[in-house]
Amino acid sequence: MAHDDNTADKNAAERDAAREKTGEGTAARDAARTFTVEVERLLAEAAAAMSAAADASSLESARIEFLGAKSGRLKAVQKLLGQLGAADKPAGGRRFNELKQALAACFEAAEARLAGAARGLPPIDVTLPGVARRLGRHHPITLTIRRVQQIMGRLGFESVEGPEVEDQWHNFDALAIPPEHPARDPLDNFYLAVAKGHSPLLLRSQTSTVQIRVMEARKPPLRIISLGRVYRPDTADATHYPMFHQVEGLCVERGTTMAHLKSVLRFFASSFLGGDVHVRFRPSFFPFTEPSVEVDMEWGGRWVEMGGAGMVDPAVLAAVGYDPEQVSGFAFGLGVERIAARRHGVADIRDFYRNDVRFLEQFR
């Protein structure tokens, strides 16, 4: 409470004069002095006690001591107010009200401080640096998918998506995988329980399904890649997991050859891994390509199998209504975990799925 000393002195002088007039003498002057001293003392002590209160119960003791209805010290000061002479009453009353308000404010401030502490909030110190938020990161598989999309985009391959729950046609039939083929075995696929009379659905076992979906919907020429999850009931080990990701690539144009396939894969491999990469084809078999190859990549002195590829079988082109006399295509399917593990030197693909942030936060 700020006082203008001159005004205070002047008011005090006026009150002295008034006391003379009303015949109130020394006793009244002493009472006024005592009142003023007690008001100041009470305010200082109450403010100190309340702001020092470390918990609710010590604040409550302070409240009772100073503001208590029966024998609080504020009551005592109120009694002193009653003993003031007529000349001092008006100013004393105002001062007393100010005191009451100041004490209430001290009490509320202390209460708010303790409530904040109870909620775990530190007392606010605006000069402290802010609390930095912990930023998340993209998962290494997501980072790999984006990188593949970016590299293939430079060659004009558009990234498309297909459903993870597939039907027999897209997962097998249209890819020239006949009904008796072992790849359709219920032990090698996650078939879904469907109502009787409905043809079985399954979690797709390969992203080659998307080749069919895109060719059914569009006319050639086309260049697409599709990256996503596939599912196989494999026992998890360092190189297998019942859910993993594949990159599917498909290019159908007039005059496409194996040479295009190999150039695209070599461009991809050296862009993705960086530096000197060799790509090797080994003869293989896939029902939907002819010829078919396994794709190996050599990087840092080590050959690693990355997936399969080949020229799209004319029967597949015919199944989606393309004319194999007019267009030809190549296709490839690579394991996303495999290429990510190779690039980053990860020995066990299960690490990608353990959700250990100490592992995951290393990738960028």
C-alpha angle 248/250/251, rounded to 5°? 155
Give the whole-angstrom CA distance, residue 299 versus residue 275. Answer: 8
In the complex, minimum distance from the CB of residue 357 to ligand DAH, in angstroms, rounded to a whole number: 31
Collapsing DSSP states into helix, strand and coil, what is residue 227? strand
Minimum CB distance to ligand DAH smaller for 189 or for 289 = 289
The contact set with ligand DAH (CB under 6 A) reads 206, 208, 248, 286, 289, 307-310, 331-333
Give the other-Cβ count within 10 Å of 261's Cβ. Answer: 24
In the complex, minimum distance from the CB of residue 276 to ligand DAH, in angstroms, rounded to a whole number: 25
Minimum CB distance to ligand DAH smaller for 19 or for 204 = 204
CA distances to 15, 305, 339, 341, 357 from 333, rounded to whole Å, are: 101, 11, 12, 16, 29
CA distances to 13, 19, 355 from 25, rounded to whole Å, are: 14, 6, 86
Minimum CB distance to ligand DAH smaller for 53 or for 309 = 309
- Select from 236, 248, 265, 141 the least CA-distant residue to 205: 248
In the complex, minimum distance from the CB of residue 170 to ligand DAH, in angstroms, rounded to a whole number: 12
Minimum CB distance to ligand DAH smaller for 200 or for 287 = 287
In the complex, minimum distance from the CB of residue 290 to ligand DAH, in angstroms, rounded to a whole number: 10
Q: Find the residue with minimal CB distance to ligand DAH.
A: 333
Minimum CB distance to ligand DAH smaller for 67 or for 230 = 230
In the complex, minimum distance from the CB of residue 305 to ligand DAH, in angstroms, rounded to a whole number: 11
Which tokens belong to 264?
Answer: 């695209």
